[in-house]
Amino acid sequence: MPETASFLTVFTALDLFLAIVIGFFLVRLGRRVRPELRTFWRFFALSALFCFLADWALLAALPYFQLSYGPVGSSLLLISGLRLLFFTPAFYLLLRRPVRRNAIVLLVMLVFLQAGIFAFEVDGFYIEPFRLGVTELPVHAPAFLPGRPLRILQISDLHVERITQRERAVLAQAEALRPDIIVLTGDYVNSSYTRDPVTLQETRQILSQLHAPFGIYAVNGNVDTPAVMSALFDGLANIRVLNNEVFPLKLPSGTLYFIGVSMTSSTPDEKVLRALISELPPDTYRVLLYHTHEIIGASSSGDVNLYLSGHTHGGQIRLPLYGAIFTDSYYGKKYEMGEYTVGPTTLYVSRGIGMAGGFMPRVRFLCPPELVLVELGK
pLDDT at 110 over 90: no
**Per-domain boundaries in the chain:** 7-128, 134-376
State the Cα–Cα distance between residues 33 and 37, nearest whole angstrom: 6
pLDDT of residue 51: 84
Q: Are 348 and 308 in contact (CB under 8 A)?
A: yes
**Which residues is 117 bridged to in the sheet?**
none
Above pLDDT 70, what percent of the chain?
84
pLDDT digits 0-9 by tens, 196-234: 999 999 999 999 999 999 999 999 999 999 999 999 999
pLDDT of residue 34: 64
- Reported as type and span, the H/E element at residue 145 is none
pLDDT of residue 95: 64
Give me the CATH topology for the region 134-376. Purple Acid Phosphatase; chain A, domain 2 (3.60.21)
pLDDT of residue 5: 45
If 0-12 CB within 10 Å is exposed, 13-18 middle and 19+ buried, where does residue 169 land?
middle
Lowest mean pLDDT among 43-52, 60-69, 130-139: 43-52
pLDDT at 182 over 60: yes
pTM (2 decimals)?
A: 0.90
Positive/negative CA dihedral, 199, 205, 209, 214: positive
Please provide the size of the chain in residues. 378
